[in-house]
């Protein structure tokens, strides 16, 4: 399946004609007309230099990235920091790299001194969506009750405990929410519990009683009737890249994978024993060697067989893009505030995040449950000898999990590659190719351009908001 990118767009009239995720259409690029600063001529024929802070990532997290860089004809690894102590970090050697791949601490230090043409792998302010509590707070601040059309209904603990209890009480005469999810402010699936309402209230009451001393967490409505495949629940991991805050540009990779949980013996959790743990799908607790993830293309074919139509998948995929547009539109204010605080050059900051969705089994509606900073890029196959690269690579090529990550990394490098001519020279210039005007009621005409010579991406460009009061996000397909 060809890898492609879809960028998220805002307008005042909603129209979306979803392309197939299986790459049945030619790859194209759609973006705003840009005027970029040319890189110094001395760099014209030099390779793009990557510095990787290896110590900042887990074991195997940079394997695919380094492999892709080494296989490219236009990039090289100019530096690699393996130890956190007594070693030069990339932010301490800014003249040695063009792209700096690191975690947030080193990244933000580097942005303070970044020069035009350099890129660093974090976007300050992104915690507005990558931290569990802040994602909910950001969405509610922007959309009020409308936020819960994108994310499950959420209450922050301990501060919103009584608001949650009042909401439960008001639903007493209506259809109740029998299960709730308690989430701690931790990562990689830890600190997550699915509890019946009475147990969730007891756990939340204990948190509320501690007041400011309590671990800050949240309670979230459990999504019933989740889509199952062969009686197995799953979550969908997608990758999103933010490459610019002003104007806002967000790219959704046209791929990803599904992680499955244990087979369920019953269609609903509501009559199960309350200690049942199969209702949480956690990749980090699964047997990775035995796991068999699916690609989005496999899900698309499955839904085609089940429904006899491509409409279900197309509706789900379009709704996913809408949801992500709403999320990053809501985050624009904190992103812009951080951009002003760091005063980094335009385009210097980029960040990869992972978006996790659950799918409603009746309507195929996607629910965004988390956006993760520093999503894992480690390959699934890990039982080869450390120095047996051939074993590692050959086994991982046959696995959906590894194949999707490889496609993503390859496409990410093309997205980050300095624009240039066919020989790969680093020449960033004004882009004006086949500009089109898109007109709609109540919206000023927007200028678009299709860029030739940059294959591998298909996206819609984001029109940056001037204020969060402009809350409706709309789409146009080109």
Question: pLDDT tens digit string along 402-445?
Answer: 999 999 999 999 999 987 533 333 322 222 222 222 222 222 22
In this structure, the answer to whether residues 204 and 340 fall within a common structural domain is: no
pLDDT on residue 268:
53
pLDDT on residue 46:
86
In this structure, the answer to whether residues 290 and 403 fall within a common structural domain is: yes
> Is the omega angle on the peptide bond into residue 68 within 30 degrees of 0, that is, cis?
no
pLDDT on residue 271:
47
In this structure, the answer to whether residues 288 and 371 fall within a common structural domain is: yes
Given the structure tokens 């936020």, which residue do they identify? 147
pLDDT on residue 304:
96
Q: Alpha helices, DSSP H only, in 262-370?
A: 296-307, 311-330, 332-342
Domain boundary among 417, 441, 456: 417
| Within-domain flag for 159 | yes
Query: Residue 437 — φ and ψ, nearest 5°?
Result: -100, 135
In this structure, the answer to whether residues 58 and 101 fall within a common structural domain is: yes
* DSSP code at position 156: E
Number of domains in the chain: 2
pLDDT on residue 234:
92
In this structure, the answer to whether residues 322 and 185 fall within a common structural domain is: no
In this structure, the answer to whether residues 351 and 391 fall within a common structural domain is: yes
Per residue in 261-317, pLDDT (tens digit) is 877 665 555 444 444 445 565 544 555 555 688 999 999 999 999 999 999 999 999
| Within-domain flag for 271 | yes
Mean of the per-residue pLDDT values of the chain: 74
pLDDT on residue 281:
58
In this structure, the answer to whether residues 200 and 337 fall within a common structural domain is: no
Burial of 434 (0-12, 13-18, 19+ CB in 10 A): exposed
Q: Is 424 left (phi over 0), alpha (psi -120 to 50) or beta?
A: left
pLDDT on residue 173:
55
pLDDT band at 61 (very low <50, low <70, confident <90, very high): very high
Domain that holds residue 393: 44-125+229-417
Task: Give the whole-number percent of the chain exceeding pLDDT 70.
Answer: 65
pLDDT on residue 288:
55
- CA distances to 24, 304, 432 from 358, in Å: 25, 19, 40
Beta bridge partners of 179: 196
Helix (H, G, I), strand (E, B), or coil: what is residue 62?
coil
In this structure, the answer to whether residues 158 and 117 fall within a common structural domain is: no
Per residue in 223-276, pLDDT (tens digit) is 988 999 988 889 999 999 999 999 999 999 999 999 988 776 655 554 444 444
Beta bridge partners of 370: 356
| Within-domain flag for 167 | yes
Return the higher-pLDDT residue of 195 and 460.
195
Q: Of 391, 399, 478, nearest to 433 (Cα)? A: 478
pLDDT on residue 208:
76
In this structure, the answer to whether residues 93 and 188 fall within a common structural domain is: no
In this structure, the answer to whether residues 255 and 363 fall within a common structural domain is: yes
Domain boundary among 186, 202, 221: 221
Q: Is 125 left (phi over 0), alpha (psi -120 to 50) or beta?
A: left
Task: Give the whole-number percent of the chain exceeding pLDDT 90.
Answer: 50
pLDDT band at 381 (very low <50, low <70, confident <90, very high): low
In this structure, the answer to whether residues 325 and 347 fall within a common structural domain is: yes
Helix (H, G, I), strand (E, B), or coil: what is residue 91?
helix
| Within-domain flag for 53 | yes
| Within-domain flag for 386 | yes
User: What is the pLDDT averaged over residues 319-340?
Assistant: 94
Q: Is 277 left (phi over 0), alpha (psi -120 to 50) or beta?
A: alpha
Domain boundary among 188, 221, 254: 221
CATH number, domain containing residue 190: 3.30.1490.20
| Within-domain flag for 210 | yes
Return the higher-pLDDT residue of 34 and 240.
240
In this structure, the answer to whether residues 203 and 233 fall within a common structural domain is: no
* DSSP code at position 59: T
| Within-domain flag for 462 | no
Q: Of 100, 139, 94, 138, nearest to 122 (Cα)? A: 100
Per residue in 81-138, pLDDT (tens digit) is 999 999 999 999 999 999 999 998 889 999 999 999 999 999 999 999 999 999 999 9
pLDDT on residue 265:
64
pLDDT band at 190 (very low <50, low <70, confident <90, very high): low
| Within-domain flag for 437 | no
Residue pair 350/123 in contact by the 8 Å Cβ criterion:
yes
Distance CA 387, CA 77 (A): 19
pLDDT on residue 214:
60
């Amino acid at each position: 399946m060809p890898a492609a990118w879809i960028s998220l767009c805002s307008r005042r009239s909603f129209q979306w004609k979803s392309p197939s995720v299986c790459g049945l259409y030619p790859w194209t690029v759609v973006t705003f007309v840009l005027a970029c600063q040319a890189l110094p001529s001395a760099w014209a024929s030099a390779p793009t230099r990557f510095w990787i802070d290896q110590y900042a990532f887990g074991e195997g997290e940079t394997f695919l990235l380094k492999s892709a860089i080494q296989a490219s004809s236009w990039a090289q690894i100019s530096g690699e920091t393996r130890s956190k102590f007594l070693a030069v970090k990339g932010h301490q050697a800014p003249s040695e790299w063009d792209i700096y791949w690191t975690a947030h601490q080193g990244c933000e230090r580097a942005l303070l001194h970044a020069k035009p043409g350099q890129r660093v792998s974090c976007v300050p302010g992104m915690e507005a969506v990558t931290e569990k509590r802040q994602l909910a707070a950001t969405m509610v601040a922007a959309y009020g009750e409308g936020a819960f059309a994108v994310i499950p209904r959420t209450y922050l603990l301990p501060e919103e405990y009584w608001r949650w209890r009042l909401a439960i009480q008001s639903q007493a005469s209506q259809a109740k929410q029998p299960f709730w999810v308690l989430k701690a402010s931790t990562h990689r699936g830890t600190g997550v519990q699915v509890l019946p309402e009475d147990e969730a209230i007891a756990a939340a009451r204990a948190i509320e009683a501690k007041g400011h001393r309590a671990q800050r967490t949240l309670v979230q409505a459990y999504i019933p009737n989740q889509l199952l495949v062969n009686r197995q629940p799953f979550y969908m991991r997608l990758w999103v890249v933010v490459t610019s805050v002003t104007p806002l540009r967000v790219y959704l990779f046209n791929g990803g994978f599904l992680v499955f949980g244990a087979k369920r013996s019953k269609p609903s959790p509501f009559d199960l024993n309350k200690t049942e743990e199969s209702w949480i799908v956690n990749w980090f607790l699964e047997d990775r060697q035995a796991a068999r993830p699916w690609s989005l293309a496999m899900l698309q074919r499955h839904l085609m067989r089940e429904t006899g139509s491509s409409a279900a998948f197309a509706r789900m995929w379009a709704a996913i893009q809408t949801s992500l547009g709403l999320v990053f539109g809501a985050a624009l204010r904190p992103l812009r505030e951080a951009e002003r605080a760091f005063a980094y050059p335009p385009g210097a900051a980029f960040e990869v995040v992972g978006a996790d969705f659950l799918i409603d089994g009746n309507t195929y509606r996607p629910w965004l449950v988390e956006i993760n900073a520093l999503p894992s890029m480690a390959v699934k196959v890990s039982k080869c000898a450390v120095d047996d690269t051939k074993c590692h690579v050959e086994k991982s090529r046959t696995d959906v999990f590894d194949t999707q990550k490889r496609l993503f990394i390859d496409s990410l490098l093309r997205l980050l590659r300095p624009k240039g001519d066919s020989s790969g020279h680093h020449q960033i210039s004004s882009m004006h190719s086949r500009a089109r005007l898109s007109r709609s009621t109540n919206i000023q005409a927007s200028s678009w351009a299709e860029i030739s010579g940059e294959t591998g991406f298909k996206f819609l460009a984001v029109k940056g908001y001037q204020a969060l009061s402009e809350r409706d996000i709309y789409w146009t397909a080109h």
